[in-house]
Structure 1
Amino acid sequence: MAVDGDETAARGAGSAAQGFMALPGRTEDGRQLFLKCLADMVRVLRLDVAPESDADDERQWRHQVRGALREACRQELVLSEASFGVLMKAAVYDPDPSFNRQFVEPALNAFGYRRVRSALLDYLRTGTNQERAGAARAWYWSALPLRLSKVRAEGSDIGGQAEVDDRSVMVGEWYEAALREFVRNEHLDVRRCILPGLPLRKSAYPPELHDLVEAAVMIARSHPDEYIRHRVEHQVRG
C-alpha cells in the first residue's frame, strides 16, 4: 500500500522543520475493511453516493464518499446514535493519517471530546492490532477545536453538549494506556503509530510509570525498524 499523506503534513511545518521521517504505510492491507466502513457510513448517514458495487473505480469511489461527507458537514447534519459508531470505525480503519480527520471531526462536534476519546481508548485497549494502530492515528485529531457548527447529534441543539467538553479530558488515561501498549505489544504498526503521540518524559507520568518510560525509550532505540529508531531520538531530545 502506498503511503497516503505523511505525518509531517498532519503535524504541520513545525515537525517538517525538525526533519521527521514520514510515518510508513501499514504492514497489513486493510483496504477491504475500510471500504466496508465507508459503505456502512454511506448507508447510515444517507450520503448522496452511489453504492460501491456500482463504481467503476474503487479509489474514485472513496474520494466521492469523502467529498459527500465534507458537503454534508457544511449543511445542517444531524447524526444518529448509529452514526457515531460508523464514523469512529472509519476513522480507525482509514489508512491515511491525515484524511482520517474527516471522520473524527464530525463525531467530535456532535458527540463531544469525552465520547470520542473513550471510543478510541477502547480500541487501543481491546481492539485488534490494526484497530490499535488506527486508534493511535486518529487520536491526534481528537483535540481539534469544534468548528463544524451545523453538525449535531440527534435530539440535541446545534452547539449544545459538545461545547462543554474539556479538550484535556482523558489525556492522562490515553498516555498511560499507550505507554503500556507500546512496551508490551511488539506489532510493528502498533508501535509505529503510537510512538509519535507518546510523551517520553518521566514528568508526563506518575512515578509508578517511570520505569515503563525508560523501557519504552530502550525498546525504541534498539528497535530494528528505522522509523522507530529515528523518531525516538527526536522525541527524547524535544
Structure 2
Amino acid sequence: MAEDGTVEEVRELLPLPERPQGGKGVLRRNLRELIRLLGIEVPPESETGKWSHVAGHALREAFIRRSGGLSEDFFEPLIGAAVYEPDPSFNRWFVEPAINAFGRRRVRVELLTFLRTGTDRERAGSARAWYWTGLPLRHQKLRAGTLAEEMDDGADEALDVVTAWREASLREFVGNENLDVRRCILPGLRLDPESYPPEVRALVDTAVAIARSHPDEYIRHRVEIQVHQ
C-alpha cells in the first residue's frame, strides 16, 4: 500500500530468459581445471547430462570445506567459470570463493575488463556474475595471503570500480544491440541520472527509451519495474 493509502499495482518480475547455447567448452575447461587444482573427484562427463552442474556443486562443497588458502592458479578459472556459467544462480559458486580469496576489488576489476573488452557472451556473463560481487566475505579460510586490512569489507568495496562499472554498463546497454547483453545488464542498471557523472546522464533517458520500445518482452517488462522503484 502506498503512503497515501492507495493500493499500489503489484509488479511481478519475469525470470531472466535462458541464454543462447554455446560456451560450454570454455565453462567445462575451467571446471576441469578447478577440479584438478582442488584434487577432488567428480563423475565423468559421460555419466551425466548435466555435468557442469554436478561439477559446480562438487566444487562449491569443496570450497566450503577447504581449510587452506587458494593459490594464484585459482583466479583465472574461477572468474572464467563465473562468466561462462549461464545460470545466474549457479555462478555464485565461483564468484564467492574468488572474492574471499582474492578480494572484492580484484574480482570486480576483472569483470569490468570482460564487460569492456570481451565477446558479447563474456559481456553478458560478466553482468550476471557482477550481481554477486556484493557478497560479504564469509569464508575466511580461503584467503590467499592478502593483508587483513586490505581484505576488510569496508576498505575493499572498490567504489571507484563500481562507478566505472555503472558507466560502462550504461554505455554498453545503449550501444550494444546484442539481446543477451541487454537482458543481462538491465537488471543491474541504475536508471537514476544522478547515479552517473554529468557527461553521461543523458544516456539514462536513451537507455529507458530503448528498453521501452524494445521488441523483447523481458526488457520491456523489466524497465517498467525499475523506473517505478
Match of 1:36 among 25, 29, 33: 29
Maintained 8 Å contact 1:39/1:51: no
Larger deviation, residues 202-211 vs 192-201: 202-211
- Count matched residues: 218
Alignment of 1:13-24 (within 5 A): 18-24=11-17
**Structure 2: distance between partners of 1:76 and 1:125:** 35
Match of 2:141 among 135, 146, 150: 150
Alignment of 1:126-145 (within 5 A): 126-145=117-136
Maintained 8 Å contact 1:133/1:194: yes
Shift of 1:167: 5.8
**Structure 2: distance between partners of 1:33 and 1:68:** 17
Shift in alpha-carbon separation, 1:127–1:227, aligned structure 2, 3 A: same
Cα deviation digits, residues 11-55 of structure 1 (max 9, x gap): xxxxxx741100001123332332222112212x224124745x4
Q: TM-score, normalised by structure 1?
A: 0.85
Shift of 1:171: 1.2
1:109 aligns with 2:100: yes
Q: Secondary structure at the match of 1:25?
A: coil
**Structure 1: distance between partners of 2:68 and 2:44:** 22
Counterpart position of 1:75: 66
The runs of 4+ residues in structure 1 deviating greater than 6 Å are none
Alignment-mate amino acid for residue 218 of structure 2: Y
Q: Secondary structure at the match of 1:235?
A: helix
Alignment-mate amino acid for residue 49 of structure 1: E
Cα deviation digits, residues 129-187 of structure 1 (max 9, x gap): 0000000000000010001121111x447x56422412645211100000000011000
Alignment of 1:62-211 (within 5 A): 62-153=53-144, 155-156=145-146, 161-163=150-152, 164-166=155-157, 168-211=159-202
**Structure 1: distance between partners of 2:146 and 2:82:** 23
Maintained 8 Å contact 2:31/2:55: no
Maintained 8 Å contact 2:42/2:58: no
Shift in alpha-carbon separation, 1:21–1:50, aligned structure 2, 3 A: closer
Tell me, which stretches of 5 or more residues in structure 1 are unaligned?
A: 1-16
Shift of 1:67: 2.1
